[in-house]
Amino acid sequence: MGEPVGPPEVDMHRSSRDPAHLRPRLESWLGGLLPAGADVKIPELEATSANGMSSETILFTAEWTEDGDPQREDLVARVAPDPTDVPVFPSYDLERQFEVIRLVGELSSVPVPKVWWSDAQGRATGVPLFVMERVDGIVPPDVMPYSFGDNWLYDASPEEQRTLQDATVGVLAQLHGIAGADERFAFLNLNDPGSTHLERVINHAKAWYEYAREGHRSSLVERLFSWLDTHLPADPGPTVVSWGDSRIGNVMYKDFRPCAVLDWEMAALGPRELDLAWLVYSHGVFETLASMFELGGMPHFLQAEDVARTYESLTGHAPRDLGFYLTFAAVQWCIVFVRTGLRAVHFGTEQMPDDIDDFIRHRPAVEQLLSEI
């Protein structure tokens, strides 16, 4: 038998914008926000190929004068994608994201970046965006996935990996511990049909699928949704602020502990288990990809039982119905892959397959799940 074929290089091209066009607009906008005579300059600006498949991330440095003293800040602009670039989500409410980050920072010890300014409608800069501080840290890579090897997390000791795992679960415990989520974060209540937050979250995902598929049909997605509809938990439990995209690829770490929790596009109100299952299943996706390329992966890492045990020790809440929530995570990952596959076709980096389910990179795991439920 020959040597296994290694994983292919992945083109993460997701924007047709030239970020340099944003520089004069940012300078003008910030000049109007800062004290008179600030004379804002942006000497450094670049797009980043950081993790994430949704909003664009622009790194820039702003310099200005305030009360006669020179100021310099390293900042990040989160920019809504151009509608012509096949965005992952049908809409991007950046004011909502700005507010959830701001409130989480005020009401908890979750390490979120300081948010500075918002132009959520793009009236000043021409594109919807908000600006936050730039945090120094490192992120487990998506390309190639950290479980493929040859990166700081894969090469870390078992003790360091466990520190990262437990500290990340701790972030969820802190987030879910914010009291009065229904009232303080009422703006996260989804407008989709449903008598509970969980039902609204699921119906929101169904609407997302209808948008993402562009008229194509995914039998895997539709079979998963059918199962979810007939297995809804009778009691979803208490409502918390759900981060929504709670995977380690959306966290910056320093010394294996979170120093910045990022990417809040999917935030909503809902049960605790939404975030726990997404954390576990997202690692499972990378494990499936590693096994498809005959790589060892990280099978000891982010296992459901370990995560649930740690979470219960921190919160006193024993996660329940995790099988349901892991299945919901599976269907959301399918939608992500369908949408990013169609985007790759748009940018000419992939060919359109006969079966749209071929875009679902972890298809063997999904088919195995469907055979067991």
Range with the lowest mean pLDDT among 81-85, 166-170, 275-279? Answer: 81-85
What residues are annotated to the active site? 245
Q: What pLDDT is attached to residue 50?
A: 59
Q: What pLDDT is attached to residue 302?
A: 98
Interval 69-121: pLDDT, tens: 999 999 999 999 988 889 999 999 999 999 999 999 999 999 999 999 999 99
55-to-49, 93, 181, 291 alpha-carbon distances in Å = 11, 11, 25, 29
Distance CA 302, CA 364 (A): 20
What are the sequence ranges of the domains in the chain?
A: 19-133, 146-372
* Structural element, H or E, at residue 45: strand 41-47
Confidence of residue 348 (pLDDT cuts 50, 70, 90): very high
What class has domain 19-133?
alpha beta
Confidence of residue 370 (pLDDT cuts 50, 70, 90): very high
Q: What pLDDT is attached to residue 119?
A: 97
Q: Burial letters for 157-170: b for 16+ Cβ neighbours within 10 Å, e otherwise?
A: eeeebbbbbbbbbb
Confidence of residue 18 (pLDDT cuts 50, 70, 90): confident
* DSSP-assigned states of every residue in 72-90: EEEEEEEEPPPGGG--SSS
Interval 21-76: pLDDT, tens: 899 999 999 999 999 999 999 999 998 865 555 679 999 999 999 999 999 999 99
Of 172, 344, 160, the residue nearest 243 (C-alpha): 172
Beta carbons of 197 and 268 less than 8 angstroms apart: yes
Confidence of residue 6 (pLDDT cuts 50, 70, 90): very low
Beta carbons of 275 and 263 less than 8 angstroms apart: no
Average pLDDT, the chain: 94
Residue 97: which residues within 8 A CB-CB, separation 6 or more? 78, 130, 264, 265, 267
Beta carbons of 128 and 92 less than 8 angstroms apart: yes
Q: What angle do CA 185, 188, 189 make, to 5 degrees?
A: 105
Tokens standing for residue 174: 């802190």
What is residue 9's three-state secondary structure? coil
Tokens standing for residue 84: 């012509």
Burial of 47 (0-12, 13-18, 19+ CB in 10 A): middle
User: Looking at residues 205-209, what average pLDDT do you find?
Assistant: 98
Angle between helices 197-212 and 322-346 (to 10 degrees): 20
DSSP lists the bridge partners of residue 132 as 76, 115
Tokens standing for residue 337: 């892959």
169-to-126, 343, 347 alpha-carbon distances in Å = 38, 32, 37
124-to-120, 128, 254 alpha-carbon distances in Å = 9, 9, 35
Distance CA 112, CA 110 (A): 6
Confidence of residue 9 (pLDDT cuts 50, 70, 90): very low
* Structural element, H or E, at residue 269: strand 268-270
Q: What is the DSSP letter of 34?
A: S
What class has domain 146-372?
alpha beta
User: Looking at residues 168-195, what average pLDDT do you find?
Assistant: 97
Residue 7 CA from chain centroid, whole number: 23
Tokens standing for residue 191: 């407008």
